[in-house]
Amino acid sequence: MKDGSTSANRLFVETYGCQMNEYDSGIVKRLFGDRGYSTVQSESDADVILLNTCAIREKAHERVYGRLQSLNHLKRKNPGLVIGVLGCMAQNLGEDLHGMGLPVDLVLGPDNYRDLPQLVEDIRTGKGGATLARLSSSETYEEIEPEVVSGCLAFVTIMRGCDNFCSFCVVPFTRGRERSRNPDSIVQEVQNLVKNRNVAEVTLLGQNVNSYKMDDGLDFAGLVRRILDETEIKRIRFTSPHPHDFPLHLLELMAEEKRFCNHIHLPLQAGSTDVLNRMNRDYSRESFLTLVGQIRELMPDVGLTTDIIVGFPGETEEQFQETLEVVEQCQFDMAYMFKYSEREHTLARKKFADDVPEDVKLDRLSRLISLQTSLGAQKNRQEVGKVHEVLIEGTSKRSTSDWMGRTDSGKVVVFPAPEGTGIQDLESYRGQLVHVEIQSCTQATLKGIARWEEHPTGFEVATADSTLAS
């Protein structure tokens, strides 16, 4: 530490769950970085291990318990090692996490990270363990710029918490009330990412991004307008919105502004109005379908993805069939599909018995997955022959001579690097836009040929040996 109180300051952070947690881990790394800590890639090199946890489904908890057990041997080898549990599970279980025989020194909820370096320091200097799981109505970590840039992409949190209280969801209890971050600090963060970190695309994050609201009336569309006008960011995406906050002016802004990507993650959750009512989702099957129709009318090339839960309490076979029908009608490009798991504190747990048998849940999940897999593959096949503007992100997973990027609508595209270039040339291309003609596809990926000779907006590669006709 800068004050010299301890000599070994190596931090290892492992993140579970959503992008919001990735962002929060970035805040934590920044706070520790400011205290002289360096981040290490392996837990066995660390003096402080932090697990930033998720509580959204049962499996998320189980994974963390397993992981903590596997850290026991490090703690035995090095009793000075500090292990902390952060995030939603910490908020949810609080003190209880200390009494489980797991190697846990510290439990801290998502609104308490400013205190974290000091609490760790107190533990390291023998002042005891800590639990802090107070939710705040105002914390947005406004001025802290997290370390979360990945290549030319970055996340920027614009709001925290959620007031929707969907009956299955633990988030309002682990992340507290909805609060929007000051727009000046958001614009400043995006500006800094573009200027100092060569970021080309930001994803605006929040549990409920499109209910962003400032006292002066600035809404989500207004915020995006400001970012478009006041920064040179090439692309803006967002996740996750709620279907109830899609005013026409927001959709029009997406349709008009090329830099505001045509990709909407629109959680359906269920296709039956009865189930939606019990889920406390304030839309019906019909109004969801109307919204999808309106989106497709304004943005025919939109990428539409969703979240769906099967086996919610009381879901009948007929109601599940309604979900299949809506999925068929909406033609989502991709879906995250889950079987319901009861969560502590939630309204569903209080009001309904978890009465759909496990084997029925599993059967419905597998039928839904197989329908969506075939619809998604069909949608990918429709892309063959089209030309997309792709933002170059990096090399493909399989080979460094193939590069990858995403279409405006969010689909992953792999294409051969320009002839005569190698991995060393990637940096001058990363974050640039290139037209790619799609030639084939697999289930999750499009494959194509980049038109290096063309120069779509913003494409300016200046390498001596590139094959670009400038």
- Indicate the residue among 12 and 246 with the shorter CB distance to ligand 5AD: 246
Position 210 contacts ligand 5AD (CB under 6 A): no
Write down the least CB distance from residue 453 to ligand 5AD, Å.
42
Contact of residue 56 among ligand 5AD, ligand SF4, none (CB under 5-8 Å per partner type): ligand 5AD
State the residue for tokens 């190698």.
Answer: 422
Which of 27, 37, 52, 57 is in the footprint of ligand 5AD by CB under 6 A? Answer: 57
CB atoms under 10 Å from CB of 96, counted, come to 10
Position 336 contacts ligand SF4 (CB under 6 A): no
Site for ligand SF4 in 169-198 (CB under 6 A): 169, 171-172
Which of 88, 130, 166, 390 is in the footprint of ligand SF4 by CB under 6 A? Answer: 166
Position 209 contacts ligand 5AD (CB under 6 A): no
Whole-angstrom Cα distance, residue 246 to residue 320? 26
Interior/surface letters 324-357, b for 16+ CB within 10 angstroms, e for the rest: bebbeebebbbbebbbbbebeebbbbeebebebe
From the list 27-35, 75-83, 335-343, 414-422, the region that binds ligand 5AD by CB under 6 A is 335-343
| Binding-residue total with ligand 5AD (CB under 6 A) | 12
Position 354 contacts ligand 5AD (CB under 6 A): no
CB atoms under 10 Å from CB of 89, counted, come to 27
Write down the least CB distance from residue 137 to ligand 5AD, Å.
23
Contact of residue 312 among ligand SF4, ligand 5AD, none (CB under 5-8 Å per partner type): none
Position 12 contacts ligand 5AD (CB under 6 A): no
From the list 121-129, 165-173, 184-192, 408-416, the region that binds ligand SF4 by CB under 6 A is 165-173
Which of 164, 188, 277, 321 is in the footprint of ligand SF4 by CB under 6 A? Answer: 164
Which residue minimizes CB distance to ligand 5AD?
A: 307
Which of 125, 134, 150, 165 is in the footprint of ligand SF4 by CB under 6 A? Answer: 165
Position 56 contacts ligand 5AD (CB under 6 A): yes
Q: What are phi and psi of 345, to 5 degrees?
A: 75, -20
From the list 8-16, 209-217, 334-342, 368-376, the region that binds ligand 5AD by CB under 6 A is 334-342
Contact of residue 338 among ligand SF4, ligand 5AD, none (CB under 5-8 Å per partner type): ligand 5AD
Token duo for residue 228: 């478009």
State the residue for tokens 């919001």.
Answer: 20
Report the length, in residues, of the chain: 470
Write down the least CB distance from residue 165 to ligand SF4, Å.
6
HEC secondary structure over the chain:
CCCCCCCCCEEEEEECCCHHHHHHHHHHHHHHHCCCCEECCCHHHCCEEEEEECCCCHHHHHHHHHHHHHHHHHHHHCCCCEEEEEHHHHHHHHHHHHHHCCCCCEEECCCCHHHHHHHHHHHHCCCCCEEECCCCCCCCCCCCCCCCCECCEEEEECEECCCCCCCCCCHHHHHCCCEECCHHHHHHHHHHHHHHHCCCEEEEECCCHHHCECCCCCEHHHHHHHHHHHCCCCEEEEECCCHHHCCHHHHHHHHHCCCECCEEECCCECCCHHHHHHCCCCCCHHHHHHHHHHHHHHCCCCEEEEEEEECCCCCCHHHHHHHHHHHHHHCCCEEEEEECCCCCCCHHHHHCCCCCCHHHHHHHHHHHHHHHHHHHHHHHHCCCCCEEEEEEEEECCCCCCEEEEEECCCCEEEEECCCCCCHHHHHHHCCCEEEEEEEEECCCEEEEEECCCCCCCCCCCCCCCCCCCC
Contact of residue 162 among ligand 5AD, ligand SF4, none (CB under 5-8 Å per partner type): ligand SF4
- Indicate the residue among 246 and 338 with the shorter CB distance to ligand 5AD: 338
| 188 in Cβ contact with 222 (< 8 Å) | no
Position 16 contacts ligand 5AD (CB under 6 A): no
Write down the least CB distance from residue 92 to ligand 5AD, Å.
12
Contact of residue 340 among ligand 5AD, ligand SF4, none (CB under 5-8 Å per partner type): ligand 5AD
Which of 25, 52, 53, 208 is in the footprint of ligand SF4 by CB under 6 A? Answer: 208
Position 307 contacts ligand 5AD (CB under 6 A): yes
Position 206 contacts ligand 5AD (CB under 6 A): no
Position 264 contacts ligand SF4 (CB under 6 A): no
Contact of residue 439 among ligand 5AD, ligand SF4, none (CB under 5-8 Å per partner type): none
Which of 162, 250, 276, 337 is in the footprint of ligand SF4 by CB under 6 A? Answer: 162
Nearest CA to 194 out of 248, 233, 148 is that of 233
Contact of residue 341 among ligand 5AD, ligand SF4, none (CB under 5-8 Å per partner type): ligand 5AD
Task: Tell me which residues touch ligand SF4 (CB under 6 A).
Answer: 162, 164-166, 169, 171-172, 207-208, 242
Task: Tell me which residues touch ligand 5AD (CB under 6 A).
Answer: 56-57, 168-169, 267, 269, 307, 309, 338, 340-341, 343
